[in-house]
Amino acid sequence: MEKGNNILILIDGAAVAGCRANEIQVGGELIEIASPDTGQWRNFIAGRKEWSFTSGWLVTTHADIKRLLWQGRTVTVRIIGRGDSAGLTGTAIVQQCNMNSSVGNLAQGSFSFKGSGPLTEET
């Protein structure tokens, strides 16, 4: 995905994490419209879409920031390409948050997010 180089997590408009590695999944369900009477070939139409991502992060270790990232928290996700000013934006819910040892004022973490609503292109 060309706009997956950088991902920011924003809470109340402030970035709280910087991405180290990520995997973005965008998909949709398929709805079968073929009747069993029409023969051996199945026929589908596109159904509802969904998106999610998992990622490794460096985050500040400040207790208030860590509390904001726990499971169930809704965050704004902004996905931008390196050097781009526009990208993709969406709202996601934190499904899982794992924090590892800290170095200085940073800690490593891994997060799983589930998109809630559309992933829209910024203009």
Domain encompassing residue 60: 6-26+52-121
Q: Would residue 40 count as lying in a domain? A: no
The per-residue pLDDT for range 70-99, each reduced to its tens digit, is 667 888 887 776 666 777 889 999 888 777
What per-residue string of b and e applies to 56-90 under the rule 16 or more CB within 10 Å gives b? ebebbeeeeebebbeeeeebebbbbeeeeeebbbb
Q: Would residue 10 count as lying in a domain? A: yes
Q: How far apart (Å, rounded) are the C-alpha atoms in residues 85 and 43?
A: 40
The per-residue pLDDT for range 30-85, each reduced to its tens digit, is 999 888 787 788 889 999 999 998 887 776 656 555 665 666 788 888 777 666 67
- Cα dihedral: 36, 38, 41, 43 (round 10): -80
Q: Would residue 90 count as lying in a domain? A: yes
Alpha helices in 1-123 (DSSP H): 63-68
Q: Is the pTM of this model over 0.85?
A: no
Q: Would residue 66 count as lying in a domain? A: yes
Number of structural domains in the chain:
1
Q: Would residue 39 count as lying in a domain? A: no
Provide the residue type at 71 as one letter: Q
Any idea what DSSP says for residue 37? Answer: G
